[in-house]
């Protein structure tokens, strides 16, 4: 899940927001402003309800962010680097650059998120009680009480033992500790995720058909998300197992064709070297990698401007690309790779570009390994 826009950094971790957050933000604000608050405390002006609803939605997402930042901070303390944190439709996700070193680290990284949500729920509950004792405005007490309940619910839901929830990570840590096999542990956790997902889909559809409640469709949507995410995670685990011990240099395209940063878009599109085979090229300046340019982004430049707009102006800058070293484990790079020409991995050694890697390169490597394994297994 890529961020639509970046908010900044917290504890050195880049924080992004996907556009789908606007939907859930609006849903929460609307549900509170037009439903729960007027029903509980009628007779106030609509501006009061909407101000309270919007403030509550903002604090809820701050709580969700605290949950994800906790994952990121503990991950870094356990030797796992964090790409970024992205808030989106169904919550948030901290993208880790590699796997935990062992089941103990996995347990700590996964467990801290629900613990933070549970702690926040307790603090909000205490605050609601104190505000009620102080005879604070009823709407304010209701806002804080809702935040207490939603954070406790978030903690409980996340510890369900099914991937990709935090509880699935906890289950994987346990299975990893019991079996000593990370791949088998991942398979078990993802299987649990698919089972839970189908249960939620069935319950949601039954609830919707019996009562017509929108909550039933929402529950089914969450279940479908769990099924999809768990299936994708299971496939990735199988890929990681097949690629165990394979370095990036064995799959990358070495010495790729590059584009000078100061070349114009017209030069890029007219040069025969860039017309065939590839759709993205590393951008360099004085031999140093600066970013990645795709032919699609270059073609979006109006023809009248193509002679004055440079490749530097339309490239994806290096800090926004995925960079790896040639001797890095290819399996550890998989979680950071995504489809699309703009997501190619630049392979850099001692500050110099030595290769480029795409998902098709990974697929080709997996096919070669499977064929080689099949040949070894023949009598």
Q: What digits encode the pLDDT tens for the residues 72-117? A: 899 989 988 887 888 876 677 777 777 788 899 999 999 999 999 9
Name the catalytic one among 34, 68, 349, 373: 68
Q: What pTM was computed for the model?
A: 0.75
Strand partners, 143: none
Which residue would you say has higher pLDDT here, 338 or 304?
304
Q: List Cα–Cα distances, 145 to 131, 139, 176, 199, in angstroms.
A: 10, 10, 38, 29
Q: Give the residue with greater pLDDT, 356 vs 216.
A: 356
pLDDT value for 83 = 77
Give me the pLDDT at residue 87, please: 82
Max intra-chain CA distance, the chain: 83
Residue 99 catalytic? no
- Domain 248-376 fold: CBS-domain (3.10.580)
Judged by DSSP in three states, 79 sits in: coil
Task: Name which of 11, 96, 20, 13 is nearest 61 in CA terms.
Answer: 20
What is the rounded distance in angstroms from the CA atom of residue 335 to the CA atom of residue 215? 32
The domain ranges of the chain are 5-159, 182-242, 248-376
- Assess whether pLDDT exceeds 70 at residue 228: yes
């Amino acid at each position: 899940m890529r961020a639509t826009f970046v908010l900044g950094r917290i504890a050195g971790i880049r924080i992004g927001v996907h556009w789908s957050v606007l939907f859930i933000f609006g849903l929460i604000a609307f549900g509170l402003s037009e439903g729960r608050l007027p029903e509980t405390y009628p007779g106030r002006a609509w501006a009061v309800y909407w101000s309270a609803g919007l403030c509550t939605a903002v604090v809820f997402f701050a709580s969700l962010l605290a949950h994800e930042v906790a994952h990121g901070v503990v991950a870094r303390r356990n030797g796992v680097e964090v790409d970024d944190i992205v808030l989106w439709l169904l919550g948030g996700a901290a993208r880790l650059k590699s796997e935990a070193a062992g089941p103990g680290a996995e347990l700590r990284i996964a467990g801290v998120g629900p613990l933070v949500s549970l702690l926040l729920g307790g603090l909000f509950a205490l605050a609601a009680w104190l505000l009620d004792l102080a005879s604070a405005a009823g709407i304010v007490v209701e806002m804080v009480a809702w935040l207490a309940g939603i954070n406790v619910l978030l903690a409980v839901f996340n510890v369900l033992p099914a991937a990709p929830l935090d509880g699935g990570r906890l289950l994987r840590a346990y299975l990893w500790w019991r079996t000593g096999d990370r791949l088998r542990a991942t398979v078990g956790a993802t299987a649990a995720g698919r089972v839970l997902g189908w249960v939620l889909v069935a319950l949601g559809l039954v609830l919707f058909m019996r009562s017509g409640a929108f909550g039933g469709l929402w529950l089914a949507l969450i279940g479908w998300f769990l099924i999809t995410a768990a299936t994708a995670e299971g496939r990735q685990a199988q890929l990681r197992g097949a690629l165990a011990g394979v370095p990036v240099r064995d799959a990358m395209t070495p010495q790729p064709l590059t584009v000078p940063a100061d070349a114009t878009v017209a030069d890029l599109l007219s040069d025969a070297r860039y017309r065939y085979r590839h759709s993205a090229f590393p951008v360099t300046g004085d031999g140093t990698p600066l970013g990645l340019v795709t032919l699609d982004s270059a073609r979006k430049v109006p023809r009248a401007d193509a002679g004055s707009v440079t490749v530097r102006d339309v490239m994806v800058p290096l800090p926004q690309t995925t960079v790896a070293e040639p001797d890095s484990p290819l399996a550890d790079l998989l979680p950071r790779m995504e489809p699309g020409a703009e997501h190619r991995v630049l392979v850099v050694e001692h500050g110099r570009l030595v290769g480029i890697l795409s998902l098709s390169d990974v697929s080709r490597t997996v096919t070669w390994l499977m064929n080689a394994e099949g040949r070894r297994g023949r009598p």
